[in-house]
A and B are shown apart, each in its own frame.
Chain A
Amino acid sequence: MPPFHCTRHSDKTVAFLPLVAVAQNFQTGRAATVTSAYSPWMLATRVFRLVGNRALSTSICLRGGHGVAKVEDYTLPAYFDRRESPLPDIKFVQQLSPDQKSLKEKEKGSWAALSKEEKIALYRISFKESFAEMDKGTGEWKSVVAGIFFFIGFTGLVVLWQRNYVYGDVPHTFDPEYKQKEVQRMLDMRINPVEGFSAKWDYENNAWKK
C-alpha cells in the first residue's frame, strides 16, 4: 500500500498526474513504472477532483475513500454553564440581532463609554446565566418529597382496602373484656416479675406503677 499522501493539485492539472509521473521517470532515467499512485481510493479522489469539489475530495481522502459523514449536533462545541469551568467553548448567542451587532461594534471601542445596561447586554450575549443564577437550587426536592408522601398515602389506601376486603374478623381473644381477664391472669402468674410485665404492677396498691 502506498503511503497516505493527498497532495492538493488544482482541478485542471490532476488529469495529467500520470503523465507528470512518467515525465519525471524519464528525467531521472530510471525505468520505473507508474504503478504506485493507482490504489482504488486514490482513483476515487481523482474522480471527485475532476468533479470539482475540493472539500469533498479532501474529506474523502482523509476518510480513506469512504465518503462524508453527517455532522451530529452533539459533536459540535456546546454551550454549558458550570462553575468549575467558567468559559464555555462557544458564546451563548450565536446569531446576533442587529442591535446586538451594533453593540458588538461599540465594544471594540473604549469600554468606559459603555453604559451599565450595555455591559449587561454584552454579558448576556456571551453567557446564559450568571454564577448566582446557575448555582441557585431548583427546589426539585419539594416535588420529590411531595411524591414520596403521595405514594405513602396511597399505600395507606391499599391497607384500608385490605382491611375491608381481605382480613377476616380478629379472634375473640382480642375483645377488651377478655384482655382484662388475661392481664389479671398474667399478673397472678407473675409473668416476668424482675424487669418485665409483672414488675410494672404494684401489688400493694393494686395498680400499675407510675
Chain B
Amino acid sequence: MFRFAKAALNLSGQSARQVAVRQKSDLSREFHAKYGPPLLIAGVTFCTAVWAYVITSTGIAWNLSPVGKVQPKPWQEE
C-alpha cells in the first residue's frame, strides 16, 4: 500500500529531475550568451527596415483620415 502511494504521488520526484536534466544543456546556454545580442539587433533592424519600406514606398493605399491633412477643394461642376 505504501509503495502504491509512493508511486502514485511521485514522492521521490526523480522523473521531474530527469526532465530538468534533459532540458537544460550547456550547448544552448553558450549559444545564447554568445549570439543572442547580435541576433537580436539584426532581427530588429531587419524587421524595421522591411516594414518601413513596405509602409512608405510600395504604393499601398492606407487611406488615412483626411482630418487635419487634406485641404478641401471645390467639387461642383457648373
Contact = CB atoms under 8 A, between A and B. Distances in A.
Interface of A: 74, 77-82, 85, 88-89, 138-143, 145-150, 152-154, 156-157, 159-160, 163-164, 167, 170, 174, 176-177, 179-185, 187, 197, 200, 208
Interface residues of B, number: 41
B14 to A, nearest CB: 8
Contacts of A153: 43, 46-47, 49-51
A181 B73 contact: yes
Nearest to A79: B21
Main secondary structure of the interface of A (DSSP, over half): helix
Given A80-B21, A140-B28, A208-B68, A145 B50 contact: no
Contacts of A80: 17-18, 20-21
Interface in B6-44: 13-14, 17-18, 20-21, 24, 28-29, 31-33, 35-37, 39-40, 42-44
Contacts of B61: 170, 174
A143 B51 contact: no
Given A160-B54, A180-B71, A149 B47 contact: yes
26 contacts: A74-B18, A78-B14, A80-B17, A80-B18, A85-B17, A138-B28, A139-B32, A140-B28, A141-B36, A142-B32, A142-B40, A143-B31, A143-B40, A146-B39, A146-B43, A149-B43, A150-B42, A150-B47, A153-B46, A153-B50, A153-B51, A160-B54, A177-B73, A180-B72, A200-B67, A200-B68
B60 interface: yes
B19 to A, nearest CB: 10
A47 to B, nearest CB: 31
